[in-house]
Amino acid sequence: MDGNGRWAEGRGLSRHQGHRAGVESVRACVRRCGELGVEALTLFAFSSENWGRPPEEVGFLMDLFLDALANELEELDAKGVAIGFIGNRQELSVRLQSRMLEAEERTRANRGLRLRVAVAYGGRWDIVEAARKLAAQCASGALGVAQIDEARLAAALALADLPEPDLFIRTGGERRISNFLLWNLAYAELYFTDVPWPDFDSARLDEALAYFASRERRFGRTGRQVKAG
């Protein structure tokens, strides 16, 4: 969800106002995914690299995140959305960790859209954490080194409970993944748009989904094999 700050600066507004405008786009896209029957949506809200931003901006983002949780939880729960969070929670305030846990527990039994929010998350951190889990199992004797394969490593990642992503969307004009879901995105379709996140509404999401629908997904096979089923 990139481009909040640049969107605001281009309008003579503060970066804070850009981040607030971005919350409206989150709301619109979550609702649209629910309407379309999308199974899972993961939002990259705050990366492990974002801690390097000015302290006042980081503080504002954390407060905004708290406010959004408080304001949106009831509606999300009523619509059957199951909320989860991925990332290094130990870097977050105790208050924020508590709110995140509350949201997860309240919506755990919901069977609608599975919404995951990445906070203090990095793809490299995710892979390292998975490797540490497997190493600990090997050290305890519960797992043999020869038993480690792609499936076991994938099962130790933060999004192990979700299917592999089909579509990656990045707004704001940048053409890179920026340390997001590095393992998981191996076969995802990549969609980049110059539209900044505050302008990315449900109609823009539909455009991204139309692009995805136009793609031939081969997963290493030939086009003829795909057509043959």
Do 173 and 100 meet the contact criterion of CB atoms below 8 Å apart? Answer: no
Asked if 174 and 196 touch (Cβ cutoff 8 Å), the reply is no
Contact 171, 193 (CB under 8 A): yes
Instruction: Tell me the CA distances in angstroms from 125 to 6, 158, 165, one per residue in order.
Output: 27, 10, 18
Q: Which residues contact 77 (CB under 8 A, 6 or more apart)?
A: 106, 107, 110
Beta strands in 30-105 (DSSP E): 40-47, 82-86
CA 98 – CA 92 distance, rounded (Å): 10
Give the bridge partners for 47, in sequence order: 121
The HSE-up count of residue 180 (CA atoms within 13 Å, CB side) is 24
Q: Choose the catalytic residue: 50, 88, 110, 179.
A: 50
**From 2, 4, 126, 184, active-site residue:** 2
Q: Is 88 in the active site?
A: no
Measured from the Cβ of residue 75, the count of other Cβ atoms closer than 10 Å reads 12
Q: Is 50 an annotated catalytic residue?
A: yes
Please identify every residue annotated as catalytic: 2, 50
